[in-house]
Every structure is written in structure tokens, then in C-alpha cells.
Amino acid sequence: MPKTKALPDVPRWAVRAAHAVPLVTLPSGLWRVALVAGLPVLGDADSEGFRTAWEPYYVISLSVVSELLALLTLGLVRSWGEVTPRWIPFVGGRPIHPLAAVIPAVLGATGLFALYGWYAYANFFTDLAPGSSGTPLQEAILVLCYAPLLAWAPLLLAVTFAYYRRRVPKARPAAA
């Protein structure tokens, strides 16, 4: 296994899962970049145009923000997830309370699961999702780029669970 900067007491599977999270978000981000670049990834020429001038910036921002959020998962297996880096003003060098990382991570994974549920509901049970307007090849590329996102929430929860188990000591039973 290649050397990583993970902490020594982190399980190997958690390190691999944490490193997988940014990789599962990358294909969808690249697909959105291709869309903004004008590559034929969406469908016919009528469906590829953006309705407003700011929409391409939103699409690129969505890609950047999702990748940055995915990279935060690495903090659950590295030292900067336990002690604030020294270069951060006022709080640099202070230990991070475990729940300050666990609660946002669990909320993020819950939000992702909610998005998965909403997409399934909108796409399969209602007419809320837009219809397919692309060729079979475009549809296949879309699915190949967005399917890995389904692994983001479970991977995040698994790494968060490992972080919590490592950082929060077990309660000892009271002596009788």
C-alpha cells in the first residue's frame, strides 16, 4: 500500500474509504465541466444552452464545492482532523472536539441520502424530473459519471464511524 499521511491508529479500510470519497465525486464534476465547456454531453443543441448568464458559474461552483466537501473526509483520517492547523488564526494548534467533526459529517451524509431519495422519488414515481433528451451514448456517460456519487454517503458514514470509535473513549462500567 502506498504511504499516506494518515494517522497510525486509523484502520487501513478507513484510510482507503476516505481517499475514495474525492474520487467518487470527481466524475460528476468533470461531466459538469464538460457541459460548461460546450461538449455534447447533454443532448441536442436546444437543451445545452444555459438560460441565464450566471448558470455556467453555478455549475462550475457546484463541482468545486462538492469536491472540496469530499476532500474534507480526509480530515477524518489525518492529523488536521484532530488538531487545528497552526496557520489558522486564533484557533491554530487547538484540539478539535470529536463531535465537531462527527456531527457535520453525519449531517452531510444524511443530506446526501435525502438527495438520493428525492432523486429516486422525482425520477421514478413522479414527473418532476426532466425527461431524457440525449442519445444512448450520452445517457450512458451521464450514468457512468453520476453513479459513483451513490457511494459518497456510505463511505462518509463509514469513515466517520471509524473516526468516532478512535476519538471517543468507551464508557467504563461503574464499579459495584
- Report the chain (176 residues): mean pLDDT per 10 consecutive residues: 71 95 97 90 63 90 96 94 88 90 96 92 74 78 92 97 90 58
Cβ(90)–Cβ(145) under 8 Å? no
pLDDT given for residue 7 in this prediction: 82
Q: What is the pLDDT of residue 131?
A: 61
Amino acid at 11: P
Non-local (6+) Cβ contacts of 152 within 8 A are 21, 24, 25, 70, 109, 112
* pTM score, whole prediction: 0.85
**Which pLDDT value is given to residue 46?**
47
Nearest to 31 by CA among 115, 123, 146, 120: 146
